[in-house]
Amino acid sequence: MSSSTIETRAGTLSPEPRAVTGEDARHIVPSTDFGFLPIPKRLRYDPNKPFHFGLSLNLSFAFASTLIVANLNYCQPLLIELSKSFDVTYDEVAMIPALTQAGYATGLLLISPLGDLVRRRQLILLLVFLSTTLIIGLAITPNLQAFEAICFLIGVVNVTPQILIPLAADLATPERRASALAMVLSGLLFGVLIARVLAGVVGNFSTWRIVYYMAIGVQCFVLVGAYFILPDYPAKNRDLTYFRILFSMAKYAVTEPLVIQCALINATSSACYTGFWVTLTFLLGGSPYYYSTLNIGLFGLVGMLGVVVGPFVGRLIDRLIPWYATLVATFLLLAFQALQTAAGGSYVWAVIIVCFGMDVAFQMQQVSLATRVLSISTVARARLNAIFILSLYIGQVMGSSVATDVFVRHGWRACALLMLALYGFQLPVLLLRGPHCPRTHWFGWTGGFGARKSVVKSRQSEDGGEPEVKQTDSAAQVENKMEGGLLIDQATASKDTSNDA
């Protein structure tokens, strides 16, 4: 993490849905982590003087996500070196990335929901410490089976970014929540790209173990940074148990129309995006391009330029009702995929445009969908984010396998047409529920067509607005109001913030 000064300000609405004051605060928010590690005084929670989530802290979240998610991707360019070092076949080491991803899925399901149950500062410090310890094992083990087992465990504990994302949504003010999420998501994508490049370069000129020795130092840096930068907040749902958290997560996944809508769009979009990048190597390596591996790798840099645009896209989404941002992003993805279908196999300029445009549009869609999902409940954001990321992960698995099979069997155009059809499928799924459709409705267009948050907020003020979720409401009261469909969009949340402040 980068060094940062945590600023505080009085009179700002606490990001937590439940106010904690007086004697209760001293019991709920201790001055130590794990009962023995002192929390720096400036990072201790004070309900009367909440932390300000500024640009420096937002960048720290993004930077930490970059360095942590890299742990999941170092192994991919090192597989040949690993096969030589352990004296095994390529087929045997090919299991390593799959085991890492399987561990990551396990962590998403079983660990990331803990963000709604325990103090997140403690959880993040523990996960980063465990990750650092496990990477030491990767660097020194002489046994392939031990290496594979550790890779699975590293996948399990490397879900810290999926705790930081809902935490950023909690800390950011409603008017800049999308840009805050966009910055953290951009850090995630950077981590995936940088890890592959860095591990490939280091592994090419030295032993693969150097990559993991480097990773140990990086994780120690993140751990120290987290200790001195990450603010402490009390647990959200002290009245819930771990198994009730998991049960409620399953309930959200099957009973919430908005969650299901966003998960369907997210899964199919992720399948198309992953399928495009997986098959791009086959396309550029064959007729009519016959590019070298180095030249193909440079197209990843074009994608990185698209990632840089992510935070600016977030600022645009902050001004719109997120539904409209999703609509625009889906149309852009359709347009770029149509260009790829028509000209990607003949003209390299078309491929370059698609590489850049696809990254920008995909990020816009991701941020707008995440903003909608995380706005459902302030006390269940970790669970909602876990469902959202699991849908993305399912899409990635489907996209990489199906796109490769279709490309090999039927060629690049058939593969491109399949992705075009999947992008087209997203439009009717999105249009089933309008921009202001009540949360509990499976379809409908009630509530008008307002696209700008400022206009919708002004209209609600004139009409008397929605019933408010107060800072002093308990977690149960917040959930009851939201179960009744009384809090529908972030414009209302913005109004609540200004009123309480």
From residue 204, give the alpha-carbon distance in Å to each of 196, 197, 200, 209, 348: 12, 11, 6, 12, 28
pLDDT at 480 over 50: no
Which amino acid appears at position 37 of this protein? L
| pLDDT tens-digit series, residues 325-363 | 899 999 999 999 999 999 888 888 999 999 888 888 998
| pLDDT tens-digit series, residues 119-136 | 899 999 999 999 999 999
Q: Are 310 and 193 in contact (CB under 8 A)?
A: no
pLDDT at 228 over 50: yes
pLDDT at 492 over 90: no
**Residue spans per domain, the chain:** 53-237, 241-452
pLDDT at 454 over 70: no
Q: What number does CATH give the domain 241-452?
A: 1.20.1250.20
Could you give the CA distance from residue 224 to residue 269 in angstroms, rounded to a whole number?
Answer: 36
Mean pLDDT of 234-238: 81
Closest CA to 489 of 443, 454, 444, 437: 437
pTM, two decimal places: 0.79
Q: 356-379: buried (b, 16+ CB within 10 Å) or exposed (e) per residue?
A: bbbbbbbbbbbbbbbbbbbbbbbb
Mean pLDDT of 171-194: 83
Range with lowest mean pLDDT among 43-47, 296-300, 364-368, 470-474: 470-474
Q: Comparing 53-237 with 241-452, is the CATH topology the same?
A: yes
Range with lowest mean pLDDT among 105-114, 257-266, 403-412, 449-458: 449-458
Mean pLDDT of 207-215: 90
Q: Would you identify the CATH topology of the domain 53-237?
A: Growth Hormone; Chain: A; (1.20.1250)
**What's the pLDDT band for 475 if we cut at 50, 70, 90?**
very low
